[in-house]
Each structure stands twice: as structure tokens, then as C-alpha cells.
Amino acid sequence: MSSLMQFKGECRDGKVGLQFYRTDTGDCTGADLDAYHCAECNRPHRLVGIAYRRPVDMLGCWVRFRYNGEIHAPDLSCGIAVPRWPIGTKVLSEAESSAIWHS
């Protein structure tokens, strides 16, 4: 099964809207950057940013994308942890980010 089949975001013009969030180490175990307090569940969440990227190629069932100067095969069923926003990222508001975290 392709990783795109689990994707919950938006695709347009042959590009996929990848969902990013920032941590200090660039992985999910790092300290939160851009954190806010969610009004819906009363817990802290990270702001989500969306950047549109064309797929580079496939690696088995994984779709690979280029961001932050490297090629990655991310799990598209959840947000992607990065140490800095990729070029062209639109950072969403707290309400929009909460909707993504709770979908």
C-alpha cells in the first residue's frame, strides 16, 4: 500500500500538501517549538505548517519528497517533524492547526 493512501491532506496540481511541525531536534522526541494551548482538548499542541511538494520517486511503497535540501520518505498519516520550516511553508493558525491535530 502506498503511503499516499493514508494521507489526510490536500493534493493539487500534481503536488502534495505535506504537513510539518517544528521541534528543536527535527524528530518527534524533541522539545516543542511554536507550541500553543489547544482550546478544544486543553493540551499543548504544535503549530502546523503546510508546504506543497511534487513527489520525487517511489521507494517500494513509500513516496519520496524533497524538503530542507534532502530527499525523505515520510509517513504521511501524521505530521512531519522538522528543525526549521521548509521553503514555502504556510504556517496555519491555532484553530486550523487544532483541526488537523484532531482529525
Q: In 58-88, which positions are buried (b, 16+ CB within 10 angstroms) versus exposed (e)?
A: eeeebbebebeeeeebbebeebbbbeebbee
In which band, very low, low, confident or very high, does the pLDDT at 1 lie, cut at 50, 70 and 90? very low
In which band, very low, low, confident or very high, does the pLDDT at 75 lie, cut at 50, 70 and 90? confident
- Compute the average pLDDT of residues 4-13: 73
In which band, very low, low, confident or very high, does the pLDDT at 50 lie, cut at 50, 70 and 90? very high
Q: What global pTM score does this model have?
A: 0.84
